[in-house]
Every structure is written in structure tokens, then in C-alpha cells.
Amino acid sequence: MIEYYQGILFLTTNRVDDFDQAFKSRIHLTINYEPLNDKRRAIIWKNLLHSVRPNMWDENVLQRFGREYTLNGREIKNLIRTALALAENEEQELTEEHIIRVHQINKKAAKEREAFQEEKLSN
């Protein structure tokens, strides 16, 4: 159906290698983005947290987030949304502690998924 589409379509993925050749042949322009560096991640943190509560976050904290949390923009956005939901559930303002807790939960879940996949492959 994509071959009949008359407009501009933006696709985003980190799984380009999973596209089959017929699908790839219908893509006219590909833009690759370099992985985020610490500075660019800090800017994403700043922009997303500013939309939650302007001027609440110290620049040093944002720079540290950029260094310590090697996440992409989508992951940062999801982490903030989840931390915000946690804070709201606890009837508190969003704090760094909420962000840390959510990140730790995510890291633990990722390790468990990885272990499950490895076990699945070995059987």
C-alpha cells in the first residue's frame, strides 16, 4: 500500500536492517542521525523538563543527566513521563529522586529481559 501513498511519509526506526529489500526500494530519502552525545542529551533533558516545570532544574543537574543517562530522546521522554506519574501519584512535585527511581526500575527490567532472551536462545 505504501507505493500508492501520494504524500510525504516520515518513518523512524532503529531497526533498518529488518526492512526487506522491496520495502527499502520504496524509500526515496534516508537520514541517519548520530547517537546523542552528553551535551545534546542535556539539551533534551532541559527542554523536556522545562515543559513540565520551567526553571526548576539547575544547569549542573541537567549536564549530569546528559552524562549519566545514556538514553535517546524517546527514552528520556518516557522516563520523565513515568517519573512525573510517580510524583503525581505520591502527591509531590517531580524531583531527581523520582527520575532516579524510574531509571533504576527500567535498568532492572532491561537486565531481566536480556537474561530471559539469552536463556530463550540457549534452549
Flag whether the pTM goes above 0.85: no
Consecutive 10-residue runs of the chain (123 residues): their mean pLDDT? 80 84 85 91 96 89 96 96 97 96 94 83 75
Residue 113 lies in a domain: yes
Number of domains in the chain: 1
Residue-level pLDDT at 28:
84
CA distance 123 to 108: 23
Q: Do 83 and 98 form a contact (C-beta atoms < 8 A)?
A: yes
Q: What angle do CA 85, 89, 95 make, to 5 degrees?
A: 65
Look at residue 49 in the predicted model and tell me its pLDDT. Answer: 96
93 neighbors 87 (Cβ within 8 angstroms): yes
Range of the domain at 72: 38-122
- In a domain? residue 79: yes
Whether 83 is in a domain gets the answer yes
pLDDT of residue 1: 67
Structural domain includes residue 91: yes
pLDDT at 52: 87
Report pLDDT for 96.
95
